[in-house]
Structure 1
Amino acid sequence: MTAHTAVNWAAFTEAEPELAKITEERFGAFTHHVLATLRKDGSPRTTGLEVRFLNGELWLGMMPDSLKALDLRRDPRFALQANPGPDTAMGGGDIRIAGRAVEVEDPEVKRAYREEVEPPEPFHLFRTELTGVVRTYVEDDTYLVAQVWKPGEPVRTLKRT
């Protein structure tokens, strides 16, 4: 597979169920997370965001015409970092997801999402295509461990002291 391959949440879950479970738990620990998008000039923009894992997809919902939604319409690449919480709450490690956001216009899909999540109306809805997931954590108070996943590849685990 090429570096440009991207998969939805269900495909990631099927390929790497353990890392997917840890990722969902980490994102489920807090409501708000950090989304990075690209501004018109190519510089990064970081903003807070709620995410949902529903029906085999990782969804990003946004207020109408928010800058992050406009960024994603222009350039769909994003990075998403799970909220680390208080200094002592890094249970599960630090999780980052990279990919592309695809805006959903289908009224039936938006209706189904609305029934599950009850977002304020109106809203932008994006489903994600993942290009990578990275989990970092400390093991035995000695090693910094990074688990790196890309579509079509097994998880690589890197350790350093």
Structure 2
Amino acid sequence: MTFNWAHFTEAEPPLAREVEERFGLAAHHVLATLRPDGSPRTHGLEVRFLNGELWLGMMPRSAKALDLRRDPRFSLQANPGPGTEMEHGDVRVSGRAVEVTDPEARAGYTNEVNPPDPGAFHLFRTELTEVVRTSIEEEKYLVLRIWRPGEGVRTVRRT
């Protein structure tokens, strides 16, 4: 079974809300893909949470789109923000990106997002394999909340 954003939201509503809020703090985030030789590549990217999906929209024939067409594995990190304090913590989502070519699904996205050229962009929906929320508690613990499909949330505290 594949897990999209709606499945995650249903399974772990509080964590899903925190993740969406964290991504909402900035417009641009960091997407990691794999180059043809298997080495990692990072890209800037805007994301959208719409209709139960986490969407990745990209310019035509961009390196990130071509990478995902060849190998759909990705990791997405919320923009860390200015400075080094990470006052809002960190969020990472990993999984597989599935290109959406169905005209009706694309129209649903473009009606909400209004891209500059609705006919000329790549659109991917995500299938999740992991969501990680990292934060600091009591100014001494690094706390990771890790969700994987079928496992629920596991919490790790480090000093």
TM-score using structure 1 length = 0.94
Pairwise CA distance, 1:6:
3.7
Secondary structure in 2 aligned to 1:116?
A: helix
Query: For residue 128 of structure 1, what is the aligned residue in structure 2?
Result: 126
Task: Report the residue type matching 2:125 in the other structure.
Answer: R
Q: Is the 8 A contact 1:98 1:131 kept in 2?
A: yes
TM-score using structure 2 length = 0.95
1:144 to 137, 142, 145: 142
State which drifts further: 113-122 or 70-79: 113-122
Q: Decide whether aligned partners of structure 1 residues 61 and 89 sit closer, same or farther in structure 2, where only a CA change above 3 A counts.
A: farther
CA distance in 1, matches of 2:2, 2:72: 12
Structure 1 segment 3-42 matched on structure 2, within 5 A: 6-42=2-38
Pairwise CA distance, 1:112:
1.2
Deviation digits for residues 84-110 of structure 1, max 9, x if unmatched? 111267344100000000000001111
CA distance in 1, matches of 2:128, 2:33: 14
Secondary structure in 1 aligned to 2:15?
A: helix
How big is the alpha-carbon RMSD for the aligned residues of Structure 1 and Structure 2? 1.1
Secondary structure in 2 aligned to 1:13?
A: helix
Secondary structure in 2 aligned to 1:155?
A: strand
Q: Is the 8 A contact 1:35 1:80 kept in 2?
A: yes
Deviation digits for residues 97-149 of structure 1, max 9, x if unmatched? 00000000001111111110011221000000000001111101010101010
Query: For residue 154 of structure 2, what is the aligned residue in structure 1?
Result: 156
Q: Is the 8 A contact 1:133 1:148 kept in 2?
A: yes
Q: Decide whether aligned partners of structure 1 residues 7 and 117 sit closer, same or farther in structure 2, where only a CA change above 3 A counts.
A: same
CA distance in 1, matches of 2:56, 2:85: 24
